[in-house]
Each structure stands twice: as structure tokens, then as C-alpha cells.
Structure 1
Amino acid sequence: MDDSVNLKGKLLAEQVQEQIFQYILNTPVALGDRLPNEFELGEKFGVGRSTVREAVKLLVSRGILEVRRGSGTYVVSTTPVDMDPLGLGAMEDKMALALDLVNVRMILEPGIAEMAALNASQEDVERLRELCRIIEYKIENDENYIEEDIAFHTGVARCSGNKVVEQLIPLIDTAVMMFVNVTHRRLTAETIMTHRAVTDAIEEKDPMGAKSAMMMHMTFNRNMIKEMIKNNEN
């Protein structure tokens, strides 16, 4: 078979695996739920069953799906292993994990935002503002904004100019994804407000303002998770 045909098939499968992943997040499909069969997924995404099969294999390799012979394809995680270097997605109590992660973020991210205010360039600030605009647009149109949310926090970390902080980015990425998944995007107004406040303070070279705004952002997140845990216990 021509190499160009192989490449085209591979790229299409990669595109479909991302579409299936977004379908899982946006529907949302709960952990343990079975996906529609290959024919139904092919109809949904306008591709053949072989492409769906390859896309599913990619998601299996990322730890998102599990194929059970004679039963079907099931969602086993919403955190890809390539975005979960610490293996936190394997922990069963997602709410407890989300609370642990936000507690760690409260220790780290306000200080990171403080450093970002001291070191960010105007180009960095413009990138953060663009991400704020995209996130706000997607929230207003009820679209999934998880990738941009992750990019925003990653961007703040990179603005710090600290090489050790850059090594913590995978942990921050995992924490953001975990929070959005467990809360189903409930803190939209608070997200818009605090992202703007963090960005404003970084642009103004106001380290205390950036630290305070990020702490406010983390506090909203933590309170939401605690409220959800409390409601689940009642």
C-alpha cells in the first residue's frame, strides 16, 4: 500500500480518536459506561469502521478506553496517561483526589502567579489574554474549554521563568483536567473573573495582586469540591 495512503489513514484515526475523546467529555459519558458500537461511532463521525477501530486502539493505549471481548468498549478514565505522568487517574475516589490536587495547587500556583508577574513579557500577557477570550467564548457557547483552561495555567507557569516550575506543569495540567471533569464545568463565571484578574495583575507587574487573584481562583475551586463531597455524603 502507498505510504501516503497509510499516512492519511493514520492521521484520520488520530483525528477521530480526539473526536471520540471530546464526545466522552462533552456528553458526558460516565466512567464504566459502554460506548456506542463501531458502526454507530462511524456514522456519528462520518468514517468507516476500520478508522473507528484504529481510533479506539489509540484511546486504549492512552488509558481512556478498555475493549472487553464479547461485551463492548468501555470508558475507564477521562485522564489520558500521557497527561497523567504520576498515575493519579488510577485512583478510584476522584473527589478525594480532586481535593488533594487543589490543596497542592493552593500551595503552588499563587506563588507561581507571583513569579509570573515579575517575569512575564508583553507577548506572554497577550497569549494569556487570548486564552481568556477563547475560554469566555466557549463558556458562553456551552463548549468544552478544558484544553484552553489547561493552556492558561500552563502559560502562567511558563511566565514564571523558573525551570523547576516548568517541570511541575504536568502535575498542574492533570489537576486542571481532574477539576473540570469532576465539577462538569460549574464554576464558569468564577473562572472568567479570576482568569481576568490573574492576567491583569501579571500585565501590571503586580506580584501580590497576581498571587491574590490566583488564590481566589483556587479557593473557588476548593470550595466547590468540598461542597460536592459534602452533598455526596448526605
Structure 2
Amino acid sequence: MSANENTAQSLTSKVVDAIIYYIIENNLQAGNKLPNEDTLASMLNVGRGTVREAVKALISRNILTIRRGAGTYVSEKYGIADDPLGLTFMPDKRKLALDLTDIRIMIEPEIAMLASQNANGKEVAELEVLCDETENWILSHRQQHLMHIHPDLKYHAKIAQFSHNSVVKNLVPIIYSSIEMHVDFTQSKLVDDTIFFHRKIFEAIRDHNATQARDAMLMHLMISRREVEKANLR
């Protein structure tokens, strides 16, 4: 590699760091728009080509995303790798579903407890709306068991968000993977349990009852695990 190539790489790396610093300093959140290429180049005193290479690097790291015709935005993935644990390469998907459920049992009851302690009034109201929407969605798609995945994921994601723990939000993709896995195995059998425990979890968070929030989430996940085990035996 030539000295010029080394210099170009070094400059691109510096611009990558500068853009990350800009995101942090300006408290940009997922979905927020960055200045355009010309503005960034002027701000950082570099050429547009260098900015372009830095943006490409940040896209590859799931920090930025391009919306065609709209500009550059902070990615919804917020720097989280698509498969950080290499789960794609685990051949036994049934065992993976069980193992992921075990991980959920370890962490999600505590997340629910934190949410019950830290969620504010606005967040509680938002969670209630989402709980109602999830319940209505599940009931209206009772015979299409895969259809309740997305509102269910959103519900669990909001609980993680309302825990106000900055690390928890990066654990949510793992939770998503678990839900996607065991819905395939348990099919529609957990529909009624999902509705019941989602409501119990919400009520505990609303009432700021940490013990009940933790226990309701634990029961919800233990029942899910039991169904995954049954699927493993079939």
C-alpha cells in the first residue's frame, strides 16, 4: 500500500470519528438527518470524496443509512451489527430458540422491573396504547399466527426503551430474534397468554410495581419456554 493510500485511509478514519462525535454531541437519534455532503465537507475541512468514503464506512457499520432522494440519516440500528452473536451459523434452530428464550428469562424480567421504576407518565400512556393495539392486532389475526410478531416486538422494544438503561436498547435485537424464533414453533397457542401477560406487565409498569412487573414478565417467558420445549419434542 502506498503512502498516499495510507494517508487517505487515515483521513477517512478521522472523518468517520468526527461524524460519530457530531452525532453524539448533537444528541442525534435514530432517524435524525445529518447535514448534506457539502455541509459536512465544509464543517470538517475535507473534500466531498473523503466525506463520501466516511459515510460509506458508517453505513457498513449500521450507524448511518441513505434514503434515496432524501439524504443521510442515523440508522435505526444505531451501530448494532445485523448478527452480533453469529446466530445465523447455528444449525440447530430449535435449540437456538430455547437458548434465546433462556437469555430472555435472564434479562427481560429485570428490564420490566426497571421500566416500572423509571417510566414517566407520557411513556406509560404510550405503552397502554401499544398494549391495546397489540391486543387488537392479535385478536384480529388469530388464525394467522405470524401476524402478531411485529406489534409484539414493538411492545417489548418499548418496555426496554422505558427502562431508561442505555445498554438495554442494544439488547433489543437479541430479544427480537428470540421472539421471531419461538413464534414459528409455538404458532397460535400462545395468543391468549400473550394478551393476558402483556396486560399484566403494562398494569405493573403503570402502577410502578417493580415486583409484579418482573414476575409477570418472568411468567410470560416461562410459558413461552415450555412451548418451545414441547416443539423440540415433536
TM-score of the two chains, using structure 2 as the length reference: 0.60
Kindly provide the CA deviation profile for residues 122-171 of structure 1, in whole angstroms up to 9, marking residues without a partner as x.
Answer: 22222222222222212222251211111111111111111111221111
| Aligned match for 1:217, one of 203, 210, 220 | 220
Amino acid at match of 2:154: A
Aligned to 1:107: 106
Measure, in 1, the Cα distance between the counterparts of 2:208 and 2:148.
27
Amino acid at match of 1:206: N
| Aligned match for 2:178, one of 132, 151, 175 | 175
Structure 1: runs of 5+ lacking an equivalent = 1-80
- Structure 1 consecutive aligned stretches of length 4 or more whose deviation exceeds 6 Å: none
Q: Give the secondary structure class of the aligned counterpart of 2:91.
A: coil
| Aligned match for 1:196, one of 186, 196, 199 | 199
Measure, in 2, the Cα distance between the counterparts of 1:147 and 1:130.
15
Residue-pair matches, total: 151
Measure, in 1, the Cα distance between the counterparts of 2:137 and 2:102.
27
Measure, in 2, the Cα distance between the counterparts of 1:98 and 1:83.
18
CA shift at 1:84, angstroms? Answer: 4.1
**More deviation, 196-205/183-192:** 183-192
CA shift at 1:195, angstroms? Answer: 0.4
Q: From the superposition, tell whether residues 186 and 89 of structure 1 become closer, same or farther in structure 2 (CA, over 3 Å).
A: farther
Taking only aligned residues, the RMSD between alpha carbons, in angstroms, comes to: 1.8
Structure 2: runs of 5+ lacking an equivalent = 1-79
Q: From the superposition, tell whether residues 121 and 83 of structure 1 become closer, same or farther in structure 2 (CA, over 3 Å).
A: farther
CA shift at 1:83, angstroms? Answer: 5.6
Measure, in 1, the Cα distance between the counterparts of 2:224 and 2:85.
21
Kindly provide the CA deviation profile for residues 195-230 of structure 1, in whole angstroms up to 9, marking residues without a partner as x.
Answer: 000000000000001000000101110111111112
Aligned to 1:118: 117
TM-score of the two chains, using structure 1 as the length reference: 0.60
Q: Give the secondary structure class of the aligned counterpart of 1:163.
A: coil
